[in-house]
Amino acid sequence: MDAFDLFRLVLDEYSSRIIQLTSPHPMNAIQLSDALGIPIAACYRRIRTLKEAGVLKEEGRAVSIGGKLVATYRSSLERAEVILTDGRLRILIKANGQKTANEVLLSDETSMLHWPIDHDAADK
């Protein structure tokens, strides 16, 4: 996943809230689903996508209210920057100690400014 795709993911409403909620302390999917007001299946899809992108990690396991062992997740996003200078857009993402960066000349890649609508939003 390049920096533009990763930044797009981080800007998504529910993904950004998951990152925000799991930054100070780990949370399980049930807690995240309740906090976000979204179905558990949609929450697990977001968690999977964020884990695959490297901005969320499984921290451990905890006992849920129902007595089951469930995975807990914590944000591994350290930094996200967007810089616009002299007609160039630069995006830098740092997660898990890994940096991903892209730079594009805006006149060459105006399509980058028109990101597609997230059709997964219907899952929310």
**pLDDT tens profile 53-101:** 999 999 999 887 778 899 999 999 888 888 888 888 888 888 877 787 7
The Cα 16–Cα 114 span in angstroms is 19
First-to-last C-alpha distance (Å) of the chain? 23
Question: In terms of residue numbers, what domain contains 7?
Answer: 3-114
* List of E strands, the chain: 27-28, 56-63, 69-75, 77-85, 88-95, 98-105
Quote the tokens at residue 20: 């925000």
Q: What is the pLDDT of residue 122?
A: 46
- Report if residue 119 sits inside a domain: no
Q: Is residue 124 part of a domain?
A: no
- Per the listing, tokens 């991903």 go with 100
98-105 vs 27-28, strand pairing mode: unpaired
120 falls within a domain: no
Does 109 score more than 90 pLDDT?
A: no
Note whether residue 108 is domain-resident.
Answer: yes
Split at pLDDT 50, 70, 90, the class of 35 is very high
Task: Tell whether 122 is covered by a domain.
Answer: no
Instruction: Give the closest residue to 105 by CA, choosing from 88, 92, 120.
Output: 88
User: Residue 52 maps to which CATH number?
Assistant: 1.10.10.10
Number of domains in the chain: 1
